Structure 1
Amino acid sequence: MASIRDDEAYPDGARKNGPEKDDHEKKEVLSVEMIFKDKEVPTWRSQLTVRAFVVSFVLGILFSVIVMKLNLTTGIIPSLNVSAGLLGFFFIKVWTAFLDKSGLLKVPFTRQENTVIQTCVVATSGIAFSGGFGSYLFAMSETISKQATEANDSQNTKTLSLGWIIGFLFVVSFIGLFSVVPLRKIMIIDYKLIYPSGTATAHLINSFHTPQGAKLAKKQVKELGKFLSFSFLWSFFQWFFTAGSDCGFGSFPFLGLKAYENRFYFDFSATYVGVGMITPYIINISLLVGAILSWGIMWPLIENREGDWYKSGLPSSSLHGIQGYRVFIAIAMILGDGLYNFAKVLGKTTTGLVKQLKNKEPSTILPLADKASPEAEAASFDDQRRTQLFLKDQIPSWLALGGYVSIAAISTAILPQIFHQLKWYHVLVIYIFAPVLAFCNAYGCGLTDWSLASNYGKLAIFTIGAWAGKDQGGVLAGLAACGVMMNIVSTASDLTQDFKTGYMTLASPRSMFVSQVIGTAMGCVISPCVFWLFYKAFDGIGTITSDYPAPNALIYRNMAILGVEGFSSLPKNCLTICYIVFSGAIMINGVRDFAPKRWAKYVPLPMAMAIPFYLGSYFAIDMCVGSLILFVWEKMDKVKADAFGPAVASGLICGDGIWTLPSSILAFAGVKPPICMKFLSRGTNVKVDKFLNS
């Protein structure tokens, strides 16, 4: 999904009042790097400290748990860059404060080290997403294949094992890092791509390390700690009431029992409320619109056609029944949105490249304001300072090229040993075209802040799956190819975005690259272990009735089936509705792009609308509550909302994420909650009372 742009911090870290505010902000607008000109920039090796990687390891585990939980529930992963930067600042500040009091502090904490931590943490937790634990990888399992009911033979399924998963990730996760390294100067210096999330994170880190910014950061950390504790204790409290299925606050029929049956309820999840606070309003509203459209209108109408459009009495998981409509209509909307955005970003990429190559004016290479203005002089100073240091520590092109070829060769040899359905020539073709697609994704992300990694993965599903064929395990081959492609293009855009953050904080490209490599290596071990913890600790994971239904896994598997079998297995009229929804997704995107801006911002996003089609609206309601809290807060005090909103949201997400670890341990130990809190209708309650009294 798109990266969620975080609110840019004020350069000085806090707002001021009166003339002092105006003078300081004027100075701040003139030059960011002027504030830091007296601070020596550490060498790239000095930026890579032991304490930075110790903190990154701890935060990497926490963030991997959070991403994994979101992967296996909604599939919506917000940008966690700000949380990583903020928590990295907090941990190192506590560390250095302790050493400073004991007289042992030798190396001060710099913004470059803060950037290294943020890069490493995001790289680590990024594997939890690109590793496919909630999508293509889990889609290979028997758990998901049984729900698909088609192509679920042994040729098209693979038993999950921690060993081969870790090996697979090590083979495919690093090559994307080498694919865009030679292009970093073109992306960051020559084309001046904005990378909104990377730029916003850089502003935040820069603000933390000014005197005023440090004061605000301490207050933000205090708020984060407060809501982290609240979220953890609230999750702990809820656990006592969940001794059975459909028990506890998570099954509270807030809108009534009939609405609950159609998955309209508020489940009191601190994680989703927090995610809603850092996710743009339009995404949360789109989720709610999608939930109303599907569970409120479409599915009840289609269920009335049972016995006509599809056979009566089919299992709830059968794709020949109502489940088929839910899954394939969602796929149609996702593909329509994906195709539109793919064409849009590809068009922008091509147009941008042509303009850059044809137009040799300096203003195109380095877009500045009027050079006679103080703002332009300041921008010029910042650009010159940043460019000088960005080009100082070069990563040799021979290293990037040699690394890519070497890893590609190893991967081409090893992957067919892990998936015998995926042939060596399939892998070779992927690696021949991957650098071009990685560049397109990184360039498009710089223009739009939208990564299309999952769309490139779906492209691999259909092409390689169809090439392999159904009888030769095309479903599994397509899913494995999806993993190879997704990891390449995802890590490529992530690294380029980190280069942008490093460029604006004067962190060396070498330290960025090394921290990304170390973070990726940690993620290749941490993410599978976290997934295995979920997989073994919670019953029924991956099924619709589970707390962790992994909706994208079934969707990805059905895409692979569609790629090798065609549309013959769809229930009656399902294909017609899919065509309508597919076209509707393209039209909605067109309206968003071509309608007047004052109206376009209210048009929902089809990709977000599609997610509740399978899951229901409970998480959408939670996220809308988060949006409502932030909206009211902004109306009451926008300054504090802008300053502390991300910290509060991060606390809610992290606290609930931390509770996942002890709850998993309790599940492993066989310790079950003591109480089941259920909600019954009056009639059912009377029957239960009569039964108990008889």
Structure 2
Amino acid sequence: MGKDNGGDDENNRSPNPEHVEKKEEEELSVERLFEKQQVPSWTRQLTMRAFAISCALSVLFSVIVMKLNLTTGIIPSLNVSAGLLGFFLVSTWTKILTKCGFIAQPFTRQENTVIQTCIVASSGIAFSGGFGSYLFGMSDRIAAQSTDTNTVDIKNPHLLWIIAFLLVVSFLGLFSVVPLRKIMIIDFKLTYPSGTATAYLINSFHTPQGAKLAKKQVRQLGRFFSFSFLWGFFQWFYTAGDNCGFSSFPSLGLKAYQNKFFFDFSATYVGVGMICPHIVNISVLLGGILSWGLMWPLILKKRGDWYSADLGLQSMNGLQAYKVFIAIAIILGDGLYNFCKVLSRTLSALYVQLRRKDVNNILPVADQASAVSSEQFSYDDQRRTQLFLKDRVPTWFAAAGYVGIAAISIATVPHIFHQLKWYYVLVIYLFAPTLAFCNAYGTGLTDWSLASTYGKVAIFLIGAWAGSSRGGVIAGLAACGVMMNIVSTASDLTQDFKTGYLTLASPRSMFVSQIIGTAMGCVISPCVFWLFYKAFPDLGKPGSAYPSPNAVVYRNMAILAGHILRLICSLGPWSGLCGSGINKAKADAFVPAVASGMICGDGIWTLPASILALAGVKPPICMKFLSRADNARVDKILGGS
């Protein structure tokens, strides 16, 4: 006979669905793991050690971004790497102080977020500062490779004016999107994939389970950092001349090497390839095959037919012109497509959001609290929303900051670039907040910042307005810098707001950290560029270690823009751009650490290499590859001597 429990035994009853759902929610809740930890005030999140470590890592990351700017022009997202390295250094700092008998301030995820924000803001200037594009495109080195060498359209880099220019244009974007933070993060719930991924990483570091994984990740980072640094040091000994060393290894043969198909043993590119999406890697590979393997050899055969056979390969009246202007056409076409795609998604999503919500509840005012009932929020959402709306950056402060800095910029920039009139800058600043919102919103949807595309739009509009005879090239390039800095920093800040929202970091600490990081970047990035500029005399020249391929492209865009108005007038009636199949979980966990180690190790070696170059210390060996016939001739010459 079966034993009757009278149906009152709780173990035999079917579970209450609401009870099960609540229990599952508690198990999955991130904020319940940190429920017993007090969230520090926004001022205590901004520590001296955080900014000291941010400054040191900003130098490293600026070197990495600068190196990529001046070589491939492809810059991956470094948010995760910044968060990981920040965690590693502060954790090490805290342990050392504790072992020495000092009481160290607890390291919180909010402080970790502040460090990551500051590093990304600072190193971001190395990209938006245009050192590999519009700013370097003003120089005589790039003008010599272009179609126009008018001295009116040349402004060579100098450390002081670069720093001054960045200081007056790099902060506008921050003030333009501060009032919109509630709309972006809470009302529209934009995902900001990179910001969200960084927040999850930082949250996991500060849990017991995550700390164990972080130790393993840091161990892998340290291994590959050391390997990458030592490998860069080893390669240096074999680079005593042009095209010497492992960076030009003819793995596919000498014929392929002549068409730029060779293996570069730089660990930086391996790390970047691990971080970049597969579509980017495939696109770069196909682009290299189609251009260097197919198009340029075919156009070269037309020498003497399509262009004079007497011209050198670097002449802008010969093969180089085909390379540059085909590249411009592809970049503009791809950029226009992505601009339309992201803009259409932005407008479509905005329309849907505005239809779903009461317009009065989503005005761009950061001060208003959300009136949504708690039933519509999970515990995590309630906790995060409460703290996100607590420390507000007043709207009046953001508006006053924008107007004040804009006024200073309008008065200052024309003195740095006399071709860029004050009313050009004023027009840019009138439209900039709208474009900054579009870029920040589009980045939240697609994780794709179109800052460079908006910059190219400014090149064509302002360059055409100024005209080629009135310094339109410099005016267009400078306008590109003004626009790029605004829309780039705007999307970076909203990305960091998302990270701060998910880690309970105060919006005020995020904003202050972004301001300090941007100020650091306005000094660090020009100094790093100046180090490259002085250490490598062939910087920007085709075939050199740092050819800066985008600079000549941007300059020629500005040249085209200067002639657009004249062309329109003459035509008109008024004439007079694989994950591991072995273990995906481990790959996802350790790929960022391994890639970061390889990128950072190779990047940090660039600093001593530049110092050695400035000191006149040259490598002792040149390793080159010759064909059998050339080698026999060299042996004969050497034997004869």
The amino acid across from 2:168 in the alignment is V
Give the deviation of 1:207 after TM superposition. Answer: 0.5
- Could you list the per-position Cα deviations for residues 411-434 of structure 1 after superposition, in whole angstroms to 9, with x for gaps in the alignment? 000000000000000000000000
Identify the residue that residue 623 of structure 1 maps to in structure 2. none
- Could you list the per-position Cα deviations for residues 553-584 of structure 1 after superposition, in whole angstroms to 9, with x for gaps in the alignment? 01100110111125999xxxxxxxxxxxxxxx
**Residues 237 and 620 in structure 2, CA contact (< 8 A), matched pair in contact too:** yes
Distance between the aligned counterparts of 2:77 and 2:172, measured in 1?
A: 23
Identify the residue that residue 37 of structure 1 maps to in structure 2. 35
- Could you list the per-position Cα deviations for residues 471-525 of structure 1 after superposition, in whole angstroms to 9, with x for gaps in the alignment? 1000000000000000000000000000000000000000000000000000000
Identify the residue that residue 313 of structure 2 maps to in structure 1. 316
Identify the residue that residue 600 of structure 2 maps to in structure 1. 654
Identify the residue that residue 247 of structure 1 maps to in structure 2. 244
**Residues 148 and 317 in structure 1, CA contact (< 8 A), matched pair in contact too:** no
Identify the residue that residue 369 of structure 2 maps to in structure 1. none
Does 2:185 correspond to 1:188? yes
Identify the residue that residue 5 of structure 1 maps to in structure 2. none
Does 2:165 correspond to 1:168? yes
- What is the 5 A alignment of 1:581-660? 607=577, 631=579, 634-660=580-606
Does 2:287 correspond to 1:290? yes
Identify the residue that residue 15 of structure 1 maps to in structure 2. none
Secondary structure (helix, strand or coil) at the match of 1:548 reads coil
Distance between the aligned counterparts of 2:405 and 2:566, measured in 1?
A: 40
- Could you list the per-position Cα deviations for residues 260-310 of structure 1 after superposition, in whole angstroms to 9, with x for gaps in the alignment? 000111111100011111111221111111111111111111111111111
Secondary structure (helix, strand or coil) at the match of 1:243 reads coil
- What is the 5 A alignment of 1:146-165? 146-150=144-148, 152-165=149-162
Identify the residue that residue 269 of structure 1 maps to in structure 2. 266
- Could you list the per-position Cα deviations for residues 599-638 of structure 1 after superposition, in whole angstroms to 9, with x for gaps in the alignment? xxxxxxxx4xxxxxxxxxxxxxxxxxxx7xxx5xx22332
The amino acid across from 2:504 in the alignment is L
Distance between the aligned counterparts of 2:25 and 2:382, measured in 1?
A: 18
The amino acid across from 2:619 in the alignment is P
Does 2:619 correspond to 1:669? no
Does 2:256 correspond to 1:259? yes
Does 2:328 correspond to 1:331? yes
**Residues 94 and 104 in structure 2, CA contact (< 8 A), matched pair in contact too:** no
- Equivalent of residue 480 in structure 1, options 478, 481, 506: 478
Alignment coverage as a number of residue pairs: 598
Identify the residue that residue 406 of structure 1 maps to in structure 2. 404
Structure 1 vs Structure 2 CA RMSD? 1.9
Does 2:467 correspond to 1:469? yes
Distance between the aligned counterparts of 2:518 and 2:502, measured in 1?
A: 22
Structure 2 gaps of 5+ residues are: 1-20, 363-373, 568-576
**Residues 474 and 564 in structure 1, CA contact (< 8 A), matched pair in contact too:** yes
Does 2:527 correspond to 1:526? no
- Equivalent of residue 500 in structure 1, options 498, 501, 516: 498
Give the deviation of 1:171 after TM superposition. Answer: 0.5
Does 2:75 correspond to 1:77? yes
The amino acid across from 2:241 in the alignment is G
Identify the residue that residue 206 of structure 2 maps to in structure 1. 209
Does 2:302 correspond to 1:305? yes
- Could you list the per-position Cα deviations for residues 314-343 of structure 1 after superposition, in whole angstroms to 9, with x for gaps in the alignment? 122222111111111111111111111111
**Residues 467 and 565 in structure 2, CA contact (< 8 A), matched pair in contact too:** no
Identify the residue that residue 690 of structure 1 maps to in structure 2. 636
**Residues 162 and 528 in structure 1, CA contact (< 8 A), matched pair in contact too:** yes
- Could you list the per-position Cα deviations for residues 390-410 of structure 1 after superposition, in whole angstroms to 9, with x for gaps in the alignment? 000000111100000000000
Distance between the aligned counterparts of 1:501 and 1:544, measured in 2?
A: 40
Identify the residue that residue 422 of structure 2 maps to in structure 1. 424
**Residues 273 and 652 in structure 1, CA contact (< 8 A), matched pair in contact too:** yes
- Equivalent of residue 277 in structure 2, options 256, 280, 287: 280
**Residues 229 and 602 in structure 2, CA contact (< 8 A), matched pair in contact too:** yes
**Residues 30 and 379 in structure 1, CA contact (< 8 A), matched pair in contact too:** no
- Equivalent of residue 236 in structure 1, options 210, 227, 233: 233
Distance between the aligned counterparts of 1:353 and 1:31, measured in 2?
A: 29
Distance between the aligned counterparts of 1:27 and 1:106, measured in 2?
A: 35
The amino acid across from 1:653 in the alignment is I
Secondary structure (helix, strand or coil) at the match of 1:148 reads coil
Give the deviation of 1:154 after TM superposition. Answer: 1.6
The amino acid across from 1:160 in the alignment is P
- Could you list the per-position Cα deviations for residues 112-141 of structure 1 after superposition, in whole angstroms to 9, with x for gaps in the alignment? 000000000000000000000000000000
Does 2:304 correspond to 1:358? no
The amino acid across from 2:167 in the alignment is F
Distance between the aligned counterparts of 1:188 and 1:29, measured in 2?
A: 24
Distance between the aligned counterparts of 1:28 and 1:250, measured in 2?
A: 53
Identify the residue that residue 373 of structure 1 maps to in structure 2. none
The amino acid across from 1:221 in the alignment is V
Secondary structure (helix, strand or coil) at the match of 2:215 reads helix
Distance between the aligned counterparts of 2:451 and 2:31, measured in 1?
A: 34
Which shifted more, 462-471 or 101-110?
Answer: 101-110
Distance between the aligned counterparts of 2:91 and 2:321, measured in 1?
A: 53
- Equivalent of residue 113 in structure 1, options 99, 111, 114: 111
Give the deviation of 1:361 after TM superposition. Answer: 8.0
Identify the residue that residue 3 of structure 1 maps to in structure 2. none
- Could you list the per-position Cα deviations for residues 61-110 of structure 1 after superposition, in whole angstroms to 9, with x for gaps in the alignment? 00000000000000000000011000000000001111122232242000
Change (3 A) 1:491 1:165: same
Distance between the aligned counterparts of 2:27 and 2:139, measured in 1?
A: 54
Q: Percent identity?
A: 71
Identify the residue that residue 387 of structure 1 maps to in structure 2. 385
Identify the residue that residue 12 of structure 2 maps to in structure 1. none
Distance between the aligned counterparts of 2:612 and 2:395, measured in 1?
A: 50
- Could you list the per-position Cα deviations for residues 182-238 of structure 1 after superposition, in whole angstroms to 9, with x for gaps in the alignment? 100011111111111101100000000000101110111011001000000001000
- Could you list the per-position Cα deviations for residues 460-480 of structure 1 after superposition, in whole angstroms to 9, with x for gaps in the alignment? 000000000111000000000
Give the deviation of 1:26 after TM superposition. Answer: 5.6
**Residues 31 and 378 in structure 1, CA contact (< 8 A), matched pair in contact too:** no
**Residues 188 and 353 in structure 2, CA contact (< 8 A), matched pair in contact too:** yes
Identify the residue that residue 626 of structure 2 maps to in structure 1. 680
Identify the residue that residue 537 of structure 2 maps to in structure 1. 539
**Residues 464 and 564 in structure 2, CA contact (< 8 A), matched pair in contact too:** no
Give the deviation of 1:27 after TM superposition. Answer: 6.5
Distance between the aligned counterparts of 1:449 and 1:317, measured in 2?
A: 37
Give the deviation of 1:358 after TM superposition. Answer: 1.8
Identify the residue that residue 570 of structure 2 maps to in structure 1. none
Which shifted more, 444-453 or 314-323?
Answer: 314-323
**Residues 147 and 556 in structure 2, CA contact (< 8 A), matched pair in contact too:** no
Structure 1 consecutive aligned stretches of length 4 or more whose deviation exceeds 4 Å: 25-29, 376-379, 566-569
**Residues 116 and 511 in structure 1, CA contact (< 8 A), matched pair in contact too:** yes
| TM superposition score normalised by structure 1 | 0.84
Distance between the aligned counterparts of 1:26 and 1:671, measured in 2?
A: 64
Distance between the aligned counterparts of 1:159 and 1:550, measured in 2?
A: 15
The amino acid across from 1:172 in the alignment is V
The amino acid across from 1:642 in the alignment is D
Give the deviation of 1:46 after TM superposition. Answer: 0.3
Secondary structure (helix, strand or coil) at the match of 2:114 reads helix
Secondary structure (helix, strand or coil) at the match of 1:136 reads coil
The amino acid across from 2:183 in the alignment is I
Give the deviation of 1:47 after TM superposition. Answer: 0.1
Distance between the aligned counterparts of 1:377 and 1:62, measured in 2?
A: 46
Distance between the aligned counterparts of 1:216 and 1:647, measured in 2?
A: 11
Distance between the aligned counterparts of 2:232 and 2:342, measured in 1?
A: 41
Distance between the aligned counterparts of 2:28 and 2:631, measured in 1?
A: 69
**Residues 464 and 565 in structure 2, CA contact (< 8 A), matched pair in contact too:** no
Distance between the aligned counterparts of 1:194 and 1:263, measured in 2?
A: 40
**Residues 136 and 483 in structure 1, CA contact (< 8 A), matched pair in contact too:** yes
Distance between the aligned counterparts of 1:327 and 1:28, measured in 2?
A: 58
- Point out the structure with max Rg over C-alpha: 2
Identify the residue that residue 96 of structure 2 maps to in structure 1. 98
The amino acid across from 1:541 in the alignment is L
Distance between the aligned counterparts of 1:390 and 1:26, measured in 2?
A: 25
The amino acid across from 1:169 in the alignment is L
